[in-house]
Structure 1
Amino acid sequence: MKTSSSERVVPIHPALIRARLLDHWRQCGGNREARLWPELELDRFGYASANFSKWFARYLTKTGAKADRTSFHSFRHCFRDAMRAGRIEREIAFSLGGWTGSRSGGQAIGDHYGSGYRVGALSEAIAKIHYDVPALSSLMERVEVLDPQQLCRT
């Protein structure tokens, strides 16, 4: 986690399950790795994100995909757009994205009550996300909503 406030429940998309991400996670745990991608070098502050972001910027340039306002952070913008396209309600989208309310402080007192969404509701929302990217089509075919309990098993 980058910060303690970054911690949240985000179910794994069914396409990533089909791509065997859980097998990779189990292998990391079996190797006593605390991180999902232990091969990513940490920066001087202990974060893998900075070095990966720099690598990704070079990758975009090398592949000819570099454009104005395109960076690794762009994935968060694409994720939000995909949630809009999937008609995922704003509050669930903000929960999945780790975003707080409006910048103008327009939250109601009730926004601070409760403990959030159950894994099942979040899982249903994640399954609605699709990306129209040909390279991902084999992963995105016929996405089915999985039993949330199945996602929580180790």
Structure 2
Amino acid sequence: MKDGVYYFSRRVPSDLRSHYATDRISFSLRTKSARDAEARGLAHAIKLDEFWFKLRMNGGQVPGHHRLLNEEERSRRPSPTMVEAKELYLRLKGVGRPKTFYMGAERAVEYLITASGNKALLAYTKSDATAFRDALYARKLGTSSVERVMTTIKAIVAFALSEEGITAPNPFVGVYLNRQERAEDRKPISLPDIRSVQAKCRELDDDVRWLVALISDTGMRLAEAAGLLVSDFSLDDPVPHVVVQPHPWRSLKTTASERCVPLVGEALWAASRIVKRSGPEFAFPRYNRADRTNANSASASLNKWLGKYVPAGCVVHSFRHSLRDRLRAVECPSDVVDQIGGWTTAGNGQGYGQGYPLSVKHRWMAAASEYISAEHGATK
């Protein structure tokens, strides 16, 4: 006891002295109550006895430690390769899953093979996992994207090892991710730049520019727009609109993404050009095959062209940010904005009913179009 405070004190057994820098363990029990000190001292004594028992067993190692495989032995032991693990994972876990599930797994494994090769699962080490993480960041992926890819790889490895009855550590578990690091925010495109791009679209007047113009005044996601059919456009309706719906070649991000978007301004011009063109079933044939919309190809080509006319940091997706700002500027209610853009609105009540009629959404879209024209001059 010191100054009325009780202390715990216990001599280290001689056979365990080599594990300690002192021959006695002593520390404050942080109480002046004899009753509390007795209870706390007993609890610490029990913990010490358990710990010392473990230290005495095989020099502190768990029983059977000598039978664990070392790294070299693990690399020689038969186990599926990463590609084989991915195929097993998709075959069993992919039943009934959307194409995005398959695409995510394929992309994650492709990234890993590029960084570390197609090894047997037991040959991957923690250094492979951390090098993989660094390679993902080197691709300029944001932390959320890196985390998504790492989670997919962890799931594939864990599932394959479990299915093969292999008990071994998963090296992709516990890899540190810097959650302070953020992907560069996508900037909205200013109104003057939107009008400049739209004018250039009219001047060039081809299918690539129709796609840009369509997105610029609807705020659709690039994949949504690129995967449209000509039949998705309804220009003879009292409210011209486009139906955004899932197709076998292109799914939608969320259930809220399925919607009808009124066509105004340059989007209506682009839609009329698409519908008048005879022949193809797809609105944008160059970015579609029977089984897949190549949104990555569309993104690369559109952003390369768009970069000549907008500030650094602005991409095709920036039109989506800009539309939301334009609708805010005309004081459009937020739940109407969500239904126009296919954003999910919080709250249980939002799931009731069929949502706003086209005429209401058209009124706000027209106001946003008039706003940009009034502020910066209409395209002739």
Which protein shows a greater Rg? 2
- Contact 1:80–1:93 at 8 Å: present in 2 too? yes
Deviations 1:76-98 (A, max 9, x none): 10111111112111111000000
Alignment correspondent of 1:67: 312
RMSD: 2.9
**TM value normalised by structure 1:** 0.66
**What is the CA distance between 1:52 and its match in structure 2?**
1.7
Match of 1:128 in 2: 367
The number of aligned residues is 126
Distance across 1 between alignment mates of 2:276 and 2:296: 25
Structure with the largest fraction of helix: 2
Does the residue aligned with 2:287 lie in a helix, a strand or coil? coil
Is the Cα–Cα contact under 8 Å of residues 299 and 316 in structure 2 kept in the other structure? yes
Q: Specify the alignment match of 2:350 in structure 1.
A: 111
Higher RCO (C-alpha under 8 Å, 6+ residues apart): 1
Tell which deviates more after alignment, 113-122 or 51-60: 51-60
Structure 1 counterpart of 2:292, one-letter code = G
Residues in 2 aligned to 1:3 and 1:98: alpha-carbon distance in whole angstroms? 13
Q: Does 1:138 align with 2:366?
A: no
Structure 1 125/65 Cα, relative in aligned 2: closer, same or farther at 3 Å? closer
**2:271 equivalent in structure 1:** 21
Q: Deviations over 1:98-145 (max 9, x none)?
A: 0002xxxxx3321110011111111111101133686x7225xxxxxx
Q: What CA deviation, in whole Å up to 9, does each residue of 1:4-26 have, x standing for no partner?
A: 53331001014544x3632x243
Structure 2: segments with no counterpart, 5+ residues: 1-223, 225-249
Instruction: Provide structure 1 residue ranges, at least 5 long, that are not aligned to the other structure.
Output: 102-106, 140-154
Deviation at 1:66, TM superposition (A): 4.5
Identical amino acids, percent of aligned pairs: 22
Q: Check conservation: 2:330, 2:367, Cα contact below 8 A.
A: yes
Q: Which amino acid aligns with 1:124?
A: R
Q: Partner amino acid for 2:325?
A: D
For residues 91 and 128 of structure 1, what CA distance do their matches in structure 2 show?
A: 16
Which structure has greater strand proportion?
Answer: 2
Deviation per residue, 1:51-80 (Å, 9 max, x gap): 12101222244x263413x21111110111
TM-score, L = length of structure 2:
0.30
- 1 CA distance for matches of 2:306 and 2:359? 36
Q: Alpha carbons of 1:86 and 1:54: their partners in 2 closer, same or farther (altered >3 Å)?
A: same
- Measured in 2, the distance between the counterparts of 1:20 and 1:66 equals 24
Partner residue, 1:147: none
Cross-structure match for 1:47: 293
